[in-house]
């Protein structure tokens, strides 16, 4: 249990799909995210999943992105789409999107889907799902916006990524749920959609080397002492994982089979026609 707001918060896990969520879950409002992204956190100019998503968008597609931030992804596909639209709660980011010529709504996606269903060939939500308290309602809204045969493109942080414990932003009111590789099959089943693919961002070279260094250091420390174990771990990690080998394993998608993940998971769901 961790202290949050006026009372304790528990981290719970679904017995069926292993989704983890915080209880109670209090979503950050527009004021929270406006303050958050004018502080130390900045919107990223590009993300690993943007390349994967862009490949799935056909010329002339109608695209809606929920939680667009300052619009890095929409700006990249804008020239070849028949229409792009953003749903963004941060007023400052919404103004920047409008300046870029992108249509913006600051409405909640659940209300928006009721008023304007079936208007997009592709609906995107990158690094948004983990911020939402009503996960089922949010996903149902995305499914309502996309046309039959259209796709929902999702990305979330992978809770099984290389890290040491919970990161500060992995807790409410920023992150309200924690996702692993198993959950998207349950999402597709609940929505009556087809799960087309799930891809995993590979861990960085430094992350992979650090894991191997820790393994060697832990094994040697009782025998050699901390200083020698540290040096041996560092040298072994560089020998076992040179840059070229890391790049090859990442390109071949080999790290997930070893249980080694980078930050993000990317999933594609298709609405049945």
Kindly report, residue by residue over 160-214, the tens digit of the pLDDT.
887 656 666 777 777 889 998 889 999 999 999 999 999 999 999 999 999 889 8
- The pLDDT tens digits for 214-231 are 899 999 999 899 999 899
User: Which pLDDT score is estimated for 90?
Assistant: 87
> What is the value of pTM for the model shown?
0.86
pLDDT of 232 above 60: yes
Average pLDDT over residues 56-61: 97
For residue 273, what pLDDT is reported?
83
Q: In what order do the strands lie in the sheet with 177-178?
A: 2-4, 7-13, 20-23, 177-178
Reduce the DSSP state of residue 159 to 3 states and report it.
coil
d(CA 187, CA 196): 12
What is the Cα–Cα distance from 42 to 170, expressed in whole angstroms? 16
Say how far apart CA 180 and CA 139 lie, in whole Å.
17
Phi and psi at residue 105, to the nearest 5°: -125, 140
Helix (H) or strand (E) holding 190: helix 183-191
- What is the rounded CA–CA span in Å between residue 142 and residue 140? 5
28 has pLDDT over 70: no
Neighbouring residues of 15: CB distance < 8 A, sequence distance ≥ 6: none
Q: How confident is the model at residue 2 (pLDDT cuts 50, 70, 90)?
A: very low
Q: How far apart are CA 185 and CA 197, in angstroms?
A: 10
């Amino acid at each position: 249990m961790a202290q949050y707001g006026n009372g304790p918060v528990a981290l719970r896990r679904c017995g069926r799909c292993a989704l983890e969520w915080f209880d109670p879950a209090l979503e950050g409002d527009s004021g929270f995210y406006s303050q958050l992204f004018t502080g130390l956190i900045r919107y990223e100019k590009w993300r690993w999943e943007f390349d994967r998503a862009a490949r799935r968008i056909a010329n002339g597609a109608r695209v809606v992105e929920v939680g667009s931030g300052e619009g890095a992804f929409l700006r990249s596909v804008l020239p070849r789409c028949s229409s792009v639209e953003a749903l963004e709660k941060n007023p400052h980011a919404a103004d920047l999107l409008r300046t870029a010529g992108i249509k913006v709504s600051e409405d909640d996606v659940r209300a928006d889907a009721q008023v304007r269903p079936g208007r997009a060939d592709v609906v995107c939500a990158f690094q948004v799902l983990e911020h939402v308290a009503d996960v089922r309602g949010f996903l149902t809204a995305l499914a309502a916006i996309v046309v039959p045969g259209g796709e929902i493109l999702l990305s979330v942080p992978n809770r099984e990524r290389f890290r040491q414990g919970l990161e500060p932003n992995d807790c409410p009111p920023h992150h309200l749920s924690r996702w692993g590789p198993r959950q998207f099959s349950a999402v597709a089943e609940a929505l009556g959609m087809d799960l087309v693919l799930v891809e995993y961002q590979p861990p960085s070279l430094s992350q992979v080397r650090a894991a191997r260094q820790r393994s060697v250091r832990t094994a040697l420390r009782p025998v050699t002492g901390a200083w020698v174990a540290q040096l041996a771990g560092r040298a072994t990690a560089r020998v076992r994982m040179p840059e070229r080998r890391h790049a090859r394993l990442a390109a071949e998608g080999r790290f997930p089979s070893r249980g080694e993940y980078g930050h993000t998971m990317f999933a594609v769901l298709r609405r049945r026609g």
